[in-house]
Structure 1
Amino acid sequence: MNAGFGRIGMGSFVKSGEDLSRSGSAPRIWLKRALLGLLAVIIIGFTVWMLMPPSEGNVAQSEPVKLQLATVGPTPTAPEVPTAEAAGLDRLKISSQTWRRGGLGSKALVTFTVRNDNDYAVKDVEIVCAFTRRDGSHLTDRSRVLADSVSMKSRKTFARIPVGFVNVNADQAICSLVTARRA
């Protein structure tokens, strides 16, 4: 005995006593969906990979980068340009420094104290931090220019200054002063 409830809500798709026909088998439909999803993941992954900048942490270096002090004045190829005078770094030093990770462990936050023993104030202090592994091998260098000024014959502490992204294997940081200008 058939009460005809199997056709409720089907409208004209199901005639009396017929089953709903399928266009294909279930494994074939799932296979098509899986291949389409895999193709979408490959295209998105390739696009993201092409847009990423090259990383410096993956390049092996035989020795750390040597830094030179910047000089202001005439060079053989260029005439002297009126700029702020470079400060003497012999009386400017970092007296204490520490670092920690921030930004989910990918950024380096450096805290250090700059001591100025000069007879003039300095500004635009540039630091470079060299990051090494636990075994002492060099990983990467990061630099930062600090726009604040340090008064004459004084010291100033810069707390949690972000110097950039660091390798996850970085264990130690050594920061040094590169340049500074007279204020």
Structure 2
Amino acid sequence: MKSGLGRIGLGPFVGNGEERQRVQAATSIWLKRGLLWLLAVSVVGASVWLLMPPSEGNVVQTEPVKLALASDDSASPISASDTSALEAAGLDRMKISSQTWRRGGLGSKALVTFTVRNGNDYAVKDLEIVCAFMRRDGSHLTDRSRVLADTVSMKSRKTFARVPVGFVNVNADQAKCSLVTARRA
């Protein structure tokens, strides 16, 4: 006894068994090709996802910033509250004299332009800066840091133009950058 369900979905191919086999073969070929394309797209997507850099997100700093001026052979961080150690280290003779920032990279990256003044009797290198980004009302959003592998000569100043410091929140309206560490050149 036949129920007639074999004819569903075959459209005009209702004829003999040879036509049904041809339709089933064509359907299986398209199904195999579709699965191969799905596999290829998923492999490419997974590869791109693995190669992307990790998201920085909103970073909350839980411990106080350590200030240090380290020579090539020793690196000893100094607490920000110890001003006598700061004077001995010479970081107090370095400052950022002017700074501006703008957006780049389709508005998602911060590009900072600033001038570093070195009042020390020696050149410094590997400057680390930290930029704090805030909303228009002054509430804190995120911090981004960057190490500049460049040398600032003694008793001089150097301008760093459009330095990318990282991704910033779309609500960021203000930025304040400060020097954190440096090493003798």
TM over 0.5, yes or no? Answer: yes
Distance 1:127 1:60 in 2: 16
The partner residue of 2:158 within 132, 156, 159 is: 156
SS at match of 2:152: coil
Distance 1:46 1:95 in 2: 46
| 1:141 to 1:40, Cα distance in 2 relative to 1, 3 A | same
Between the two proteins, what is the percent identity of the paired residues? 57
Q: 1:179, CA displacement in angstroms? A: 1.9
Aligned to 1:123: 124
| 1:28 to 1:182, Cα distance in 2 relative to 1, 3 A | closer
Q: Going by fraction, where is helix more abundant, 1 or 2?
A: 2
Aligned to 1:169: 170
Give the structure-2-normalised TM-score: 0.60
Q: 1:174, CA displacement in angstroms? A: 1.9
Q: Which amino acid aligns with 2:175?
A: A
1:12-161 matches, within 5 Å, as 23-24=22-23, 30-57=30-57, 61=60, 63=61, 66-70=64-68, 72=70, 82=73, 87-118=89-120, 120-124=121-125, 125-133=127-135, 136-152=139-155, 154-161=156-163
Q: In structure 2, list runs of 5 or more residues that go unmatched.
A: 1-18, 76-87
Distance 1:56 1:48 in 2: 18
Distance 2:94 2:106 in 1: 33
Contact map agreement 2:104 2:111 (CA 8 A) in 1 = yes
Contact map agreement 2:99 2:113 (CA 8 A) in 1 = yes
Q: 1:82, CA displacement in angstroms? A: 4.2
Q: 1:170, CA displacement in angstroms? A: 5.8
For residues 40-80 of structure 1, the C-alpha deviation after alignment (integer angstroms, 9 at most, x for no partner) is: 222322233234343221x563x56631012659xxxxxxx
Q: 1:177, CA displacement in angstroms? A: 0.5
Distance 1:30 1:140 in 2: 53
Contact map agreement 1:121 1:151 (CA 8 A) in 2 = yes
| 1:100 to 1:42, Cα distance in 2 relative to 1, 3 A | same
Distance 1:35 1:167 in 2: 40
Distance 2:170 2:140 in 1: 10
Q: 1:99, CA displacement in angstroms? A: 1.4
Aligned to 1:8: none
SS at match of 1:156: strand
Q: 1:176, CA displacement in angstroms? A: 0.6
Q: In structure 1, list runs of 5 or more residues that go unmatched.
A: 1-20, 74-80
The RMSD of aligned alpha carbons is: 3.5
Aligned residues: 150
Q: Which amino acid aligns with 1:112?
A: F
Contact map agreement 1:87 1:179 (CA 8 A) in 2 = no
Aligned to 1:12: none
Give the structure-1-normalised TM-score: 0.60
Q: 1:122, CA displacement in angstroms? A: 3.0
